[in-house]
Amino acid sequence: MDVVRGPELLDLPQDLPGPVCVIVAPGDSRKLEAVAGRLGLDAGALAALAGPVRSARTDVTAGSVVLSLWTIDAEGASRSTSMAATDRGLVVVDDGSVADAVARVADGAADSRRALAQVVLSVAEQTEEHVARLAASTDDLGSGSNGFFTGEQRRALVASRARLLRIQHQCAAQQRVLARDVDLAEAVPGLAAAAERYAAAADSAAAAYAALGDSLDDLRTTVSERLTIVSTVFLPLTLAGGFFGMNFGWMADHLDGVTTFVVLGIVLPILMTAATVQVVRRLSD
């Protein structure tokens, strides 16, 4: 199947010698309308291709199959891609995130619907690989450094967790569309493999999301424990400071030696602090 994109789109003949794959940039309505006329797309299919993509969706008619998915580009950004297949060819509305993969896959396809299935599988594999890399990167991010996280690390952890949640929802939605739409399965055989890829990507994203959530919970617990220990350590010191700061007549009469001051003012608070720390450690264990 020949692949056509760029200025060559306006030079497509009305009577195509065989099925072709055309790649159109989003927002280029002039080229999209020209391509739609040559591939036999009706007004409904054209509107679905030109409209914004808010979620995975499909539209199967007697003459065409329209499929809209979220894709992930080389930088890891989520972008929308719409595809439509007819007997005359395959049109892909993409801003460049998967254009090269589409061209590579469609070049060896025998017909447009088989090309559509292979393109969707390629996009699903790309998404699964990205989720695997993202999950691997979050392992080091979630481990922290001896239980401490800098402000930048915390912000990166929260941002990665939000991104994983978004990808999980997108993959799960696309898996449902590909696996449960009966009309789509009949019109485009071979989408089951892509649905499995999206399901695996959604599971990986969910596992990484949960792992980062555990890291955040551990961080909160560690901070609370350390604040508690610090507060507990200062309790006997505060008690000793408050006691010896009181103006008792008995103390003024009897605590007149250096040894007494050292024992009661220094040694005793240190022993009380050490005993408190030991008690806290045993309770923590």
pLDDT digits (tens, 9 = 90+) for 55-102: 788 888 878 888 888 887 666 777 788 888 888 888 888 777 677 777
Question: CA-CA distance, 44 to 59, in Å (whole number)?
Answer: 9
Question: CA angle, 271 as apex, 266 and 276 as ends, to 5°?
Answer: 130
Predicted pLDDT at 270: 79
160 and 262 assigned to the same domain: no
Contact criterion met (CB below 8 Å) for 39 and 89:
yes
54 and 110 assigned to the same domain: yes
Mean pLDDT of 4-9: 68
Q: From 220, 237, 265, give the residue that closes a domain.
A: 220
206 and 234 assigned to the same domain: no
Mean pLDDT of 217-238: 75
Q: Token pair of 172, please?
A: 């799960």
138 and 208 assigned to the same domain: yes
Query: Residue 40 to residues 8, 48, 56, 92, 162: CA-CA distances in angstroms?
Result: 18, 14, 23, 14, 41
Q: Does the CA dihedral 174-179-180-182 come out positive or negative?
A: positive
191 and 252 assigned to the same domain: no
Q: From 184, 201, 220, give the residue that closes a domain.
A: 220
Count CA atoms closer than 13 A to 43's CA, side-chain side. 0
43 and 115 assigned to the same domain: yes
228 and 133 assigned to the same domain: no
168 and 31 assigned to the same domain: yes
132 and 225 assigned to the same domain: no
158 and 236 assigned to the same domain: no
Structural domain including 239 reads: 221-284
Nearest residue to 108 (alpha-carbon basis) of 119, 97, 98: 119
Predicted pLDDT at 197: 92
178 and 251 assigned to the same domain: no
Predicted pLDDT at 200: 92
102 and 186 assigned to the same domain: yes
pTM: 0.72
Mean pLDDT of 245-260: 64
Q: From 205, 220, 235, give the residue that closes a domain.
A: 220
Number of domains forming the structure of the chain? 2
